[in-house]
């Protein structure tokens, strides 16, 4: 035997020398849910360790986030009132707009990404306007433009359209030529979002999202979605969920070589938390293994609810 692959596994220093994938806190984006009120820190039952925060509590949170090495956050809003047109999404003093201003004030160096979608703001819980029982694509686009523009006015660095409307990236690029666009390019109609809908109070009140989000069975279609978003002006493309779609992430990275992100979603977080609480898995090891595998598959960075908690484990 001339080739002895175990030689390089002999000790930790050697293993580190030849390690192909590394993880650092700055590879992670921490999502937060922000709601109205003061002093609110409401635990999310389906996502142990995560909270709905009022703006003042979010500010406290981000003041100390920098110490962990995590430098980017993603904001979701839960408005006081919902209506058919999701008007809270694009109100200049809406909850996300207030939160962005406060965060930028308290922690100017933090990169602030905002989720651009209507589902948290519509009374029917869908990601766009309803016409004849279906989410209407083209009349939704101007509302998403307004939403993104109001986030940028408030100081957001990056806007992330997540509603899977056709042409949304082109619409945002036209409205915001100088803003970084992180497109949820391949977003699947996934059961892994279950805990999020409790967190964001955004469950659809009728039907489901399978007439705009992607069929979990499709990968070629994901590549078409991603290619189109790149052509329309996406700076970064994202695959969501992460772990069950690493094949898509890998193929996208190989095919387009574009800045690529993965969203490790609420259900991925909840499964790990639930098993760890029962003592069935080693949370720290599992989280590092999952995040490493997502990077290995092709992600330049990862949106994950573990960001804050896992950052200290990465030394």
The catalytic site residues sit at: 187, 240
Contacts of 3 (CB under 8 A, 6+ apart): none
Q: Which residue is nearest to ligand PBG (CB)?
A: 196
**16/168 with CB nearer ligand PBG:** 168
Note whether 261 binds ligand PBG by CB under 6 A: no
CB of 66 to ligand PBG, least distance (A): 23
Q: Which of 162, 183, 260, 304 binds ligand PBG (CB under 6 A)?
A: 162
- Residue 33, CA distances (Å) to 116, 127, 199 in order: 13, 17, 7
Alpha-carbon 293 to chain mean position? 17
Unique residue bearing structure tokens 């078409």: 224
State the helix-helix crossing angle for 137-154 and 168-175, rounded to 10 degrees. 40
Closer to ligand PBG by CB, 29 or 107: give it. Answer: 29
- Interface with ligand PBG, residue 115, by CB under 6 A: yes
For ligand PBG, the binding residues in 42-81 under the rule CB under 6 A are: none
Closest to 140 (Cα-Cα) out of 162, 157, 158:
162
What the block records as the tokens of 120 is 């948290």
Least Å distance between CB 229 and ligand PBG?
A: 16
Cα separation of 310 and 25, whole Å?
8
Out of 29, 44, 62, 117, the residue judged to bind ligand PBG by CB under 6 A: 117
* Residue from 75, 91, 103, 127 binding ligand PBG (CB under 6 A): 127
Residues touching ligand PBG, count (CB under 6 A): 12
The secondary element (H helix, E strand) that includes residue 240 is: strand 236-240
In the complex, the smallest distance separating the C-beta of residue 162 from ligand PBG, rounded to whole angstroms, is 4
- Nearest approach in angstroms of CB 38 to ligand PBG is 26
Q: Is residue 272 close enough to count as binding ligand PBG by CB under 6 A?
A: no
| Neighbour tally for 266: CB within 10 Å | 24
Q: Dihedral of the CA atoms 261, 262, 265, 267 (nearest 10)? A: 180
Pairing of the two strands 129-131 and 134-136: antiparallel
Distance in angstroms (rounded) separating the CA atoms of residues 307 and 273: 14
Among 266, 273, 302, 306, binds ligand PBG (CB under 6 A): 266
* Listed ranges 48-56, 113-121, 229-237, 278-286: which one lies at the site for ligand PBG (CB under 6 A): 113-121
Cβ contact 302:20 at 8 Å? no
User: In the complex with ligand PBG, which residue's Cβ is closer, 101 or 197?
Assistant: 197
Task: List binders of ligand PBG among 182-211 (CB under 6 A).
Answer: 193, 196-197, 209
Whole-angstrom distance, CA of residue 176 vs CA of residue 220:
29
Residue 273 near residue 48 (C-beta atoms within 8 A):
yes
- Min dist CB 127 to ligand PBG, Å, is 5
**Minimum distance, C-beta of residue 196 to ligand PBG, in the bound complex (Å):** 3
User: Does residue 158 belong to the site contacting ligand PBG (CB under 6 A)?
Assistant: no
Q: Residue numbers of the site for ligand PBG (CB under 6 A)?
A: 115, 117, 119, 127, 162-163, 193, 196-197, 209, 265-266
């Amino acid at each position: 035997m001339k080739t002895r692959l175990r030689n390089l596994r002999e000790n930790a220093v050697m293993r580190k020398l030849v390690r192909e994938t590394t993880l650092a806190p700055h590879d992670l984006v921490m999502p937060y849910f922000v709601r109205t009120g003061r002093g609110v820190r409401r635990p999310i039952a389906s996502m142990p360790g995560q909270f709905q925060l009022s703006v003042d509590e979010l500010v406290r949170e981000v003041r100390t986030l920098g110490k962990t090495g995590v430098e980017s956050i993603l904001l979701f809003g839960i408005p006081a009132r919902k209506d058919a047109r999701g008007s809270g999404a694009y109100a200049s003093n809406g909850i996300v707009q207030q939160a962005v201003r406060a965060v930028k004030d308290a922690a100017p160096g933090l990169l602030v990404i905002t989720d651009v979608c209507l589902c948290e703001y519509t009374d029917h819980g869908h990601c766009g306007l309803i016409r004849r029982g279906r989410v209407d694509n083209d009349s939704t686009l101007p509302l998403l433009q307004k939403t993104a523009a109001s986030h940028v006015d408030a100081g957001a660095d990056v806007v992330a359209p997540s509603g899977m409307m056709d042409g949304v990236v082109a619409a945002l690029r036209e409205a915001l030529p100088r803003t970084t666009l992180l497109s949820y390019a391949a977003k699947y109609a996934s059961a892994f979002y279950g805990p999020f809908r409790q967190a964001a109070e955004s469950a659809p009140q009728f039907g489901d999202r399978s007439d705009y989000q992607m069929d979990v069975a499709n990968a070629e279609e994901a590549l078409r979605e991603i290619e189109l978003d790149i052509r329309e002006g996406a700076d970064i493309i994202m695959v969501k969920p992460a772990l069950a779609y690493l094949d898509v992430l890998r193929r996208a990275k190989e095919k387009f070589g574009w800045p690529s992100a993965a969203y490790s979603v609420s259900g991925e977080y909840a499964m790990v938390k639930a098993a760890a609480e029962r003592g069935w898995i080693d949370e720290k090891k599992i989280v590092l293994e999952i995040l490493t595998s997502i990077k290995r598959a092709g992600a330049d960075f990862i949106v994950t609810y573990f960001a804050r908690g896992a950052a200290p484990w990465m030394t």
